[in-house]
Structures are given as structure tokens and as C-alpha cells.
């Protein structure tokens, strides 16, 4: 699998073309590329003609050997090329991300040594608490984001257009919640599953008989 390539890209603003370097594969051992992935800057381009700065999303495989995880940023399911590329990488946690925001957040979660299933459960619990406590309506929420994990606590930010609210969720509480139904939260780590807000909501919808 090719690691980097240069393409001619048409600016969506001025419609002039310029060269852009894309990375098919990033290894976290390259500190500079790792930091650019964690900030999202690896997707940032600047048009030399109209000077507009923006992000372009493209398929990218991110490999972190130290923390044993591989991310696949793509709108599409895993293809045969990726399956062949990763077939001998045993013991890794595989995940697919549909957006740059999901990709950046997932790197931080695994860097912090946290289970991303647990993080999605924490985000869902924060969503319920935010709405039930009448802090805002579901349609007011623009994003629910993982911030960090520290001293046995996960910090989640619930954001709206004009305000937000932070929640501190004890890891022990989430572990107890997951231990009640261990099979319920089980995922196939080798098929690059999407573990995100839609996934966790689907679990509770199925439980409520709404699927």
C-alpha cells in the first residue's frame, strides 16, 4: 500500500488546480505525521491561488504499533487491499472513522489507553443527562466530544451553538454498566467497525424494541 502521493487538486473556491500531497498510510512512529494527524492538520491545504485554507478528507490508514490500533478513515467499508494489508497484524484493534473529527478523536482515545466503546457509552449517558436535566433539547446539540481521561474519570463536552456543558464520568461506573451486559457491547475488532454515536444509539434502540 502506497504511503504518500501527490495529486493535482481543484480548489472548490477558485477552481484552479494545484499539487496536494496525500498520505495513504501514516505510521505513528513518525512523530511529525502523528502530530499532524492528532491535530487534523494533515488534511489542511492552502490554495496558492486564492489563499483559502480548508480541510480535504481522503482515505487514510493510521497505524500505531505501540498502542496496537489501526484506524481507517473512509466513507466506505473495508476493501480487499486493506484486508490483505492488515491480515497478519494480530492483536490490533481496528476501527473505521467516517469523518476527520471522528479520526482525530479516536487517536486521542486510544493514546489515552481508554476503551472507545466505554467512551461512546459515556457520551450517550451525558446526552441523556443533558436532555433530562433540561439543559437543552436534542436538536440543540451540535456535538458530543471526548476531551480526556485522567485519574479514573472521563471528561465529555456536550456542545450547542451558543454554549456547552462538561461532564465528568467515573470509569468505574461505566465498567459496572458494561459488565452487566458484556456481550451487548462486544464488537468485532478485526472488521474495522464504526464505533461512534450512531452505533451506541442503535444498541439502545434495539434494546427498546425500536430497531
Last residue of a domain, one of 111, 130, 147: 111
- 94 and 182 part of one domain: no
In the chain, where does DSSP find H-type helix?
A: 31-39, 80-86, 100-111, 116-132, 171-179, 197-207
What is the C-alpha separation between 192 and 92, in angstroms, rounded? Answer: 11
- 122 and 90 part of one domain: no
Q: What is the total count of domains within the chain?
A: 2
- 133 and 91 part of one domain: no
- 102 and 21 part of one domain: yes
- 11 and 93 part of one domain: yes
- 91 and 139 part of one domain: no
CA distances in angstroms from 174 to 92, 97, 140, 205, listed in the order given: 23, 23, 26, 19
- 60 and 130 part of one domain: no
- 72 and 160 part of one domain: no
Last residue of a domain, one of 93, 111, 129: 111
- 136 and 81 part of one domain: no
- 96 and 137 part of one domain: no
The confidence score (pLDDT) of residue 211 equals: 43
Last residue of a domain, one of 85, 111, 137: 111
Phi, psi of 18 (to 5 degrees): -155, 165
Q: What is the pLDDT along the chain (211 residues), one digit of tens a residue?
A: 558 899 999 999 999 999 999 999 999 999 999 999 999 999 999 999 999 999 999 999 999 999 999 999 998 877 777 877 788 888 899 999 999 999 999 999 999 999 999 999 999 999 999 999 888 888 989 999 999 999 999 999 999 987 889 999 999 999 999 999 888 898 988 788 999 999 998 888 766 555 4
Nearest to 63 by CA among 27, 10, 95: 27
Residue 9 lies in domain? 4-111
**The model scores a pTM over 0.85:** yes
Amino acid at each position: 500500500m502506497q504511503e504518500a502521493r501527490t495529486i493535482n487538486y481543484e480548489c472548490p473556491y477558485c477552481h484552479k488546480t494545484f499539487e496536494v500531497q496525500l498520505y495513504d498510510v501514516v505510521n505513528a512512529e513518525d512523530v511529525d505525521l502523528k502530530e499532524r494527524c492528532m491535530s487534523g492538520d494533515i488534511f489542511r491545504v492552502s490554495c496558492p491561488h486564492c489563499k483559502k485554507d480548508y480541510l480535504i478528507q481522503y482515505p487514510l490508514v493510521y497505524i500505531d504499533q505501540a498502542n496496537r490500533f489501526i484506524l481507517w478513515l473512509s466513507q466506505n467499508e473495508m476493501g480487499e487491499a486493506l484486508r490483505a494489508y492488515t491480515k497478519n497484524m494480530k492483536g490490533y484493534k481496528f476501527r473505521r472513522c467516517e469523518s476527520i473529527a471522528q479520526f482525530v478523536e479516536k487517536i486521542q482515545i486510544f493514546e489515552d489507553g481508554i476503551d472507545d466503546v466505554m467512551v461512546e457509552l459515556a457520551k450517550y449517558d451525558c446526552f441523556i443527562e443533558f436532555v433530562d436535566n433540561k439543559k437543552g433539547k436534542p436538536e440543540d446539540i451540535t456535538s458530543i466530544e471526548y476531551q480526556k481521561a485522567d485519574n479514573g474519570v472521563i471528561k465529555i463536552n456536550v456542545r450547542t451553538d451558543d454554549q456547552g456543558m462538561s461532564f465528568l464520568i467515573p470509569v468505574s461506573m461505566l465498567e459496572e454498566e458494561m459488565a452487566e451486559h458484556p456481550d451487548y457491547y462486544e464488537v468485532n475488532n478485526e472488521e474495522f467497525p464504526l464505533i461512534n454515536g450512531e452505533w451506541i444509539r442503535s444498541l439502545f434502540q434495539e434494546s427498546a424494541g425500536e430497531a
